[in-house]
Each structure stands twice: as structure tokens, then as C-alpha cells.
Amino acid sequence: MDGTIDVRMVLSGISFAVTSYFWLVQARKERPRLEFYQLSHFRLTNRRHPEQDHMRRLCFQQLETGGVLAVNHSTRQNSIVLFECWLLTPAGEFRGDWGFGGDDRPPWNIGPETTIALSPACFFDVPADLELPENPIVQVDFITASGKTFSHHFTQEAPRLGSAEEPLQRAA
């Protein structure tokens, strides 16, 4: 009788361990986890501010719509309801207004374990004498329906993905 109880206890322990492991893995996959990839260049337009002579209005917008790829690694749907923009310069951070390209406006719904293309745009009021770096950095904080924030830094030039060699050199 003692041998039967030990076998049952061992099998019960193994069953508990396996079930716990899969519950933990599943719970991890259900947590919101978004990643963003810049696929195309942004353009930075510089306009005179309509109301203040000592300021100018910068627009950070994509050349083509859908140039930002949002990846949902979760097994649940996520929705980006709005986003906030920050221009990061050596002179300081400037908070901007958000916008969008074309008809591509929030909320953006991202299905489970899928991707969508986004077209965010940011507008900044900055001093007229502000010196901008050659490839300015804009931080975008994407805010989901659950209140979780996902941040990403975008630059004017899209990062090169893959090898920097020319295709013919890679083939050789």
C-alpha cells in the first residue's frame, strides 16, 4: 500500500509541475508586449509658427503611410488608443502634439500575435534659434487601452536592417 501512495504522490507532483509550467508560459504570453520597427524615413518640415514670431513649428511625419510596423507578441488583442511625442535634442526635450498620416488614425487594433502598419506624425513648437542634430530623435510613447505604455525612439533616417554590404558583394 505504501508503494502505491508514493507512485500516486510522484505522479501528482509531476502533473502539478507540468501544469504550473504551462500556466506560467501561457500567462507570460497573455501579457501586453508590443514592439515597433521603423521601416521608412520620416521627413522633418520646418515652418514659421502661425502665432509666435520667436517660435517655429516642426512636423515629423513619414514620407509614405504605414512606415512603422507594430508587432503584438501577446496572445491577446491590443489597442493603441493614443500616443505622445517628445523631440530629444541636446538643448532639451520638447513635448509635441500627435497626429497621423492619411486616414490612418488611432485607435489602432492589433490582433493576437500579428502586426500592423502605422503612420504616426508629431508636431513640435520649438524656439526659432534651436539647432537640430543631423538625424533628430523623436520618442513616441504608445498608450494602450489597458493604460500600459510602450516607448520607441524614431529617427529621421530609417535604420538599415540586415547587412550593410551591397547585394552583389553578399552573393559572392
Tell me the whole-structure pTM to 2 decimals. 0.74
Q: What is the dihedral of CA 46, 135, 130, 66, to 10 degrees?
A: 40
User: What are the pLDDT digits (tens) for 129-149?
Assistant: 998 888 899 999 999 998 999
Q: Is 164 domain-assigned?
A: no
Judged against a pLDDT cut of 90, whether residue 49 lies above it is answered with no
Q: Binning pLDDT at 50, 70 and 90, where does residue 151 land?
A: very high
Answer yes or no: are the C-beta atoms of 110 and 80 closer than 8 Å: yes
Q: Which one, of 122, 140, 97, 129, lies nearest residue 45 by Cα? A: 122
CATH of the domain at 126: 2.60.40
| Co-location of 127 and 107 in the same domain | yes
User: What are the pLDDT digits (tens) for 105-131?
Assistant: 888 999 999 999 998 999 999 998 998
| Count of domains forming the chain | 2
Q: Which domain holds residue 126?
A: 32-159
